[in-house]
Amino acid sequence: MGPLRLLIFGTRGNWGRLAGIAVGVGIGVLLALMLVAGANALETRDIRASWLQPSVSELSTATSGDTLAARSDDIFGGNRIDRLDVAVPTHGNATIPGMEAPAPGTYMASPALAELIENAPPPQLQDRYGEPAGTLPEGLLASPDSLVVVVGGTPEEVSALSSAGVVVSFDPAAYGGNQNYQTLALVGALAILIPAFLLVAVSTTLGSAARAERWQTLRTIGASRRFVKRVALTEAAGTAILGATLGVGGFFALRPLLALLPVAGERLVADDLTVSITVVLVVAVAVVIGAVLAASRSVRHAGGSATSQAVFEQTPSVARVIPLLAGLGLFILVSAFAGQIPVPLAVPIVASFALIAIGLLIAGPYFTWLTGTWFARLAQTGDAVIASRRIVRTPRAGFRSVAGLVAATFVITVFAFSASAGVRAGAYTSDPLLPDDAVAANIDLDTDITAASVEERLSQVSGITGVYFTYTNGEGTYIAGDDAQTLTDNALAAEIGEVTGGIYSLTPDGPALHEATISTLDGTRISDIIVRTDSRASSIEETRTALLTLEGVNRSAGAWTRAEFVADTDSDLATQFTEIGRLAIVIVTLLAAAVLAIATIAALYDRKRTFSLLQLIGMHRNTLTKIVSWETLVPLLSILAPTILLGWLTAHMLITSLSERSLSWPDSLLGISLAATGLMVVVSIVLAARVGNTITRSSENTRRE
């Protein structure tokens, strides 16, 4: 009971410190469990919705008993719709799990899409699919927000679609998206975990620093080292267990709120956010063991004298930079030889990111020592001298206070610059073939369609201002000169133009149109239909519906505006990276604030005797604020510029390794986050100074002196 009595019957300030430790540990455990649950939820929803990506074989192998399916993407009002056309015979070899397939001419939509269809005029959306036959079961949908439609058709209708195939199986499987998405998710999780673990480590340090002097006092009055160690370990284990319990409880309490966060544009399902008891125990036990080891280390370093306050750390060596350089070297190799690496690209990329991020924290004390040495030569005032001596003598402790901000700045820079890699509609050419108000569709290769029949069908749609066609002879795509002039505001003067980069004119270099080498369009067939509208959203959607229901149109390719097509092409990487990055930036910024405040206060508790002595000999209370300011700003400024540079370089190599995009100006969230970081520094300094003045003026310290 002795150790427990010392732990329980402490001062009110001691209770406050213990509460701070428990809360810090709890937040770290909470975030770790949230990341594990999020990963489980993404895999679960991928498996649940994987029937939308059925395993198919060639149509040439089809028999009368086979199920045919064709996967395609649709769009309405900027919302992407997953469409699956199916032809399921009465006794088909493969059926959609959990539902009966709609009959030809009917459709079944997800609840979110059914509501969208109900609120839109039929010519804008419903006419694309036929008559409603019910809603899709929620158990087949990735998210409550999923926009999914299954359209029934005859075997002839489905087999005419370019994406059609014979269904081998609808069985659920872990799809998980492309490797790029998985890599980005891992990088985002790692980016959040690093400052989360920093928070747990710093919180534990707060407990050790606050109790170190009492341990020394107990040793001075005759307590055995074993007894002191029992006191320290009891406190560390108790607060860690309490913090882990708070984190686990907080996770289950906040799980419904976590499900509201959109990932890849859709909310998660709360029931998918599961964490096994084994994982919960592993995280909790790991945190408790870490806290106990930190307390044990602190006891070993505690001197035998209660008045021993001078602490000198070993001067950091340049070897601390090696992990950082290793991470950069590995990233350079990955970027240069991405196509020749025998293992999945996610492995070296995540390893490189981890080495750079952790290496930056390992190298931090060395940069702090270098800057502190320079600062000590320039220090003139008393507060600057005190701060500089502390930085030079204890560079690791000095850097520990700003480690969270350094990690946050690195992560913020990486994701802010990476988000700029998204492709924009105007990034390809200054003279696009498609105006902003136009919708385009592709014609099936084996379809003989005439311009007159298309114009007759589209004449029934209001809001159309012009219909134009491109033609192909099998070797190139061409357009009449007068049509090209109308569509591009007279950008082409030739009688016949040749289209470069496809109908959506996705050409990064050179014009989208140039003079054709053929002299006539005779003998060519229609390749694409371009329809200009009056720019109203309703006109664009009615035009899209008319095109998708037009015989001969390649419905698998869809009907898109140029901006929609570019955005959809880019959504597999840049959009998802932006979503992950912005979420990581917000969480990391908040974590950095907590780490900075706790680490700064921990450093003050560690030197409360020194500050009490200075207070007794007449130190002005503002002097403490200045000391804290120097001790925060000097280590931060010593590594801030390299951190931002490394963040940009990491973002550049990350994006160029996963795609052929390049970076541009960073996301606007970078400026906001860096401003928030600066504000956190000011708030933490003011808070720490107030806590420090309270510590040095406490009656306990005064009586001791």
Residue among 354, 413, 330 nearest 584 (CA): 413
Q: How far apart are CA 375 and CA 368, in angstroms?
A: 10
- The three-class DSSP label of residue 340 is helix
| pLDDT of 563 | 81
The tens digit of pLDDT for each residue in 435-462 reads 889 999 998 877 778 888 899 889 888 8
Bridge partners, residue 443, by sequence: 553
Asked if residues 256 and 39 have their Cβ atoms less than 8 Å apart, the reply is: no
Task: Report the mean per-residue pLDDT for the chain.
Answer: 78
- Decide which of 493 and 70 is more confident: 70
Model confidence at 122: pLDDT above 70: yes
- Where are the domains positioned within the chain? 1-53+192-311, 55-169, 317-425+572-608+618-679, 428-563
- The three-class DSSP label of residue 12 is helix
Q: Structure tokens of 419?
A: 């988000």
Residue among 507, 549, 486, 499 nearest 528 (CA): 499
Total Cβ atoms within 10 A of residue 551: 11
Looking up tokens 């007159």 gives: 452
Q: How far apart are CA 558 and CA 541, in angstroms?
A: 12
- The three-class DSSP label of residue 5 is helix
Bridge partners, residue 559, by sequence: 441
Asked if residues 80 and 65 have their Cβ atoms less than 8 Å apart, the reply is: no
Model confidence at 336: pLDDT above 70: yes
- Decide which of 313 and 88 is more confident: 88
SS (H, E, C) 602-633: HHHHHCHHHHHHHHHCCCCHHHHHHHHHHHHH
644: CB partners within 8 A, 6+ apart: 409, 413
The tens digit of pLDDT for each residue in 225-247 reads 777 777 777 877 888 888 889 98
The tens digit of pLDDT for each residue in 250-303 reads 989 988 888 887 776 678 888 888 888 888 888 888 888 877 776 676 666 554
Looking up tokens 């902003």 gives: 436
Model confidence at 309: pLDDT above 70: no
Residues in the chain: 705
Q: How far apart are CA 452 and CA 112, in angstroms?
A: 38
682: CB partners within 8 A, 6+ apart: none
Total Cβ atoms within 10 A of residue 80: 14
Asked if residues 297 and 210 have their Cβ atoms less than 8 Å apart, the reply is: no
Percent of the chain with pLDDT over 90: 14
Looking up tokens 């913090």 gives: 243
The tens digit of pLDDT for each residue in 376-388 reads 888 888 778 888 8
Asked if residues 463 and 513 have their Cβ atoms less than 8 Å apart, the reply is: no
The tens digit of pLDDT for each residue in 73-83 reads 899 988 889 99
- Decide which of 508 and 99 is more confident: 99
Regarding pTM above 0.85, the answer is no
